[in-house]
Amino acid sequence: MFPFAFEWLNDPVHFVFMGSLYTVLILLIIILHYCGIRAFLDLICKKEGHDNH
Amino acid sequence: MDPASAPFDSALIPKGVKRCQLKWFLLWIAVLNGPLMVGTVAALMCWGLALNVTNLSNNYPFGLWIAADLGIIALGAGAFFTGFLRYIVKIDDLKHIVNYAVIIGVVCYASAQGILGIDIGQPLRGWFIFWHANVHSMLTEVAFCITCYFMVLCIEYLPLILENRQVYKLGFFHGMAHHLHEAMPTIAAIGVFLSFFHQGSLGGVPGVLYGRPFAYREGFLVWPWTFFLFILSAIACGPCFTILITRITEGFARKRLVKRNVIDILAKISGRLLVLYLVLKTLDTVYWIAMAGKVGAPLSSFYANQPYGYWVLITELGILGVIPAILLLIRKTRQNDNVLILACVLNCAGIFMNRWIMTVQSLAVPVMPFDRFISYHPNWVEYASTFLFVWAGAIVISLSYRYLPIFSQEKELNPL
Amino acid sequence: MKEAHHEGDEQHQGHGKIYKFGMVVDLDKCTGCGACMVACMAENNIAFRKDETNKTRSNFWMRVYKISNGLPFPDTEISYIPRPCMHCEGHGHHHTPCVSVCPATVTDYNHETGIVSQIYTRCFGCRYCMAACPYHVRVFNWWDAKWPKGMEKYLNPDVSPRMRGVVEKCSFCFHRFQRAKNKAFTEGRREVREDEYQTACTQACPAGAITFGDLKNPEHRVYKLKDSPNAFRLLEKLGTNPKVYYVSTRAWVRKAADVYVGKEGEGATCA
């Protein structure tokens, strides 16, 4: 599954296949984190906004 | 709504819509739990006593479970395809049904993975498909893409849960739901990419078996023609399954939840895709007959043993293919509620039958010249453990319908 | 292991001699006694049940089929076909059918020996390889093995027993090859002789119907036997390129057992 595994081979099939998997997983993690952080920042800004008022 | 007649859990029910009393809902859940328990017992038997409790054998390593798996995933294609049409092709009207399509998708994919967890001989080793992945195997591609796509579906389902009346009040979840909706086109695009590959790879699973002339197909590069046919058949029947479940829900709820024009869009697209699929499938069938004959497997050998006679071919492509395609293409029949349901049932049944044919019938056809035909039928353990997920899915859908704002047109169609 | 897994220059494959182990079965000698089946089960710790009537669930690695010419008395003839794993090599862009489909790299075609191996502890029982194999050589452990009391002491220590939920198949008694290789190594040799590595079924056959050896070695008996004009393989046309050859002087056997006629015409085989 990973390049350090003994069965790993540096061939196009491995690069494309596993590369796609890693890309998708990283993208999904980034999207979730992005939404979470934005939501958190919105919450803070909203609170600060209320405090200012 | 009169507070006295409001359901006990009305604080959780979306605003502006009516739901039945809690006691009837709980009774409904209890009713579903009956067969669900039977299914659970069957699953525990498989895990505890090993797979000898089924009717599977060395001649039929694949049976109802695998056919159901492939079928469920084909039916669940409505999720990604509706998302594709809504967010990428930008058919705006589909926004009124895409939420439900996602929920149906979540149920279908969770069921498929659940069935696999029972089907494999060593479920605790299931992760080996990732850890020791063979990148040349179609099944590896299936596992990877389905797992990733299930994550995508969960991410698409999350905002619906966060929009529950009480959950939405919490600032963080409110913001999370909002930003997830903003990111939905990207998430949907990832879902389309993953779905394309896993629907196709599921077609590749029987298609690459050159030791089984019934299943084997030549193709384009490493992908047999069944790769493309499975994608096409999945997007042809997925929307119909979405329509079917929506209509069933409307039947139970005794009200309209989606406007007819939205249903009509899905039905029309489904009909056209079904026609395209049937044309390509017919061409593939003709070519397959010729190629299989070259390795000494004439067409007659494929249909020599009942119950797998020629009627199978006629039923799959004719009764469950051509007829629903015609019904879905003609506006008058498509816009008749009862005929539409019939067309959807026939369409979905046809694709399910195709999955059975490509898996179980492929194993039924003897390959060695001195092999005898042995028949197979699932036993109660296989039926119960498969239907377990139907009941569980019904519970998930019931809970989602009751507590989540899925149908944006419900208020408009059912003013209080 | 990585090197032996991939085809390529012979110089780059492993560190020793390259073999292509295979079998030639003389169907005119086979009496259908089943000694090969019993020997295989004893040698490889194959689990069995009290009631083996359901043959579709039996764990036979070697299996003897019975065929008939279908003619009425007095022209009726029968023949027996012992069928181990074919250890298919594949041909062209078609690799060994079961190896290419396994999702967890449990099964592998070894280019040093020509043997298709199976890692039982890695198999999670998806049974895709069973669907891929046209010869039904692969069997699934539908139960956990339960040995009659005391029989655990008679198990072969060289062969790991399998638990339920995993697929198994004939390994051409690969453990015997390992023993022979070790013995040759200690004696300063790098090549295993024909008599040093023989499968259990070959040795058990009372009629001497089974011959086992290196198909590429001119000194081994199988080398000549496989080129007999009466030699054929099962399902030739599929392109699996199996390593088990059958020989029979009876034309109906060659025809009945090989609906997929060999490339050089009826009864002949391609090398």
Residue C11's pLDDT is what? 40
| Distance in Å, alpha carbon of B302 to nearest chain C alpha carbon | 14
- Nearest residue to C12 (alpha-carbon basis) of C3, C24, C20: C3
Query: B71-105: per-residue pLDDT in tens?
Result: 999 999 999 999 999 999 999 999 999 999 999 99
B27 membership: H or E segment, kind and range: helix B22-49
Chain B residues near residue A14 by CB distance under 8 angstroms: 135
Following DSSP, what letter does each residue of B92-146 receive, concatenated? GGGGGTHHHHHHHHHHHHHHHHHHHHHHSS-GGGTTHHHHT--TT-HHHHHHHHH
Higher pLDDT pick, B69 / B8: B69
What is the Cα–Cα distance from B372 to C142, expressed in whole angstroms?
Answer: 22
Residue C258's pLDDT is what? 60
List of domains in chain C: 2-257 (3.30.70.20)
Give the pLDDT band of residue B302 (cuts 50, 70, 90): confident
Share of chain B above pLDDT 90, in %: 85
Share of chain B above pLDDT 70, in %: 99
B349 membership: H or E segment, kind and range: helix B337-356
Alpha-carbon distances of B128 from B131, B279, C124, rounded to whole Å: 5, 39, 7
Residues of chain C with pLDDT under 70: 1-16, 257-271
Length of chain C: 271
Query: How high does pLDDT run on average in chain B?
Result: 94
Residue B411 near residue B20, CB atoms below 8 Å = no
Q: Which residues contact C64 (CB under 8 A, 6 or more apart)?
A: C30, C32, C34, C36, C37, C80, C81, C82, C83
Of A17, A24, A35, the CB nearest to B183: A35
What is the Cα–Cα distance from B153 to B145, expressed in whole angstroms?
Answer: 12
Query: Is a pLDDT exceeding 50 seen at residue A22?
Result: yes
Beta bridge partners of C245: C24
Query: Is a pLDDT exceeding 50 seen at residue B4?
Result: yes
Give the pLDDT band of residue A5 (cuts 50, 70, 90): confident
Residue A50's pLDDT is what? 56
Chain A residues near residue C2 by CB distance under 8 angstroms: 6-7, 9
Q: For C147-160, b where at least 16 C-beta lie within 10 A, e where not — what string?
A: eeeeeeeeeeeebe
Q: Where are the alpha helices (DSSP H) in C44-173?
A: 97-101, 128-132
Could you tell me whether strands C107-109 and C78-83 are parallel, antiparallel, or unpaired per DSSP bridges?
A: unpaired
**Phi, psi torsion values for A42, nearest 5 degrees:** -60, -40
Query: B166-225: per-residue pLDDT in tens?
Result: 998 888 998 999 999 999 999 999 999 999 999 999 999 999 999 999 999 999 988 999
Residue C259's pLDDT is what? 57
Alpha-carbon distances of B215 from B211, B218, B247, rounded to whole Å: 9, 10, 35
**Phi, psi torsion values for C138, nearest 5 degrees:** -90, 135
Query: C81-112: per-residue pLDDT in tens?
Result: 999 999 999 988 789 999 999 999 999 999 99
Could you tell me whether strands C21-26 and C244-247 are parallel, antiparallel, or unpaired per DSSP bridges?
A: parallel
**Phi, psi torsion values for C25, nearest 5 degrees:** -115, 120
pLDDT (average), residues B34-38: 97
ipTM: 0.92
| Distance in Å, alpha carbon of A53 to nearest chain B alpha carbon | 18
Query: Is a pLDDT exceeding 60 seen at residue A39?
Result: yes
Taking an 8 Å cut-off on Cβ atoms, the answer to whether B58 and C130 are in contact is yes
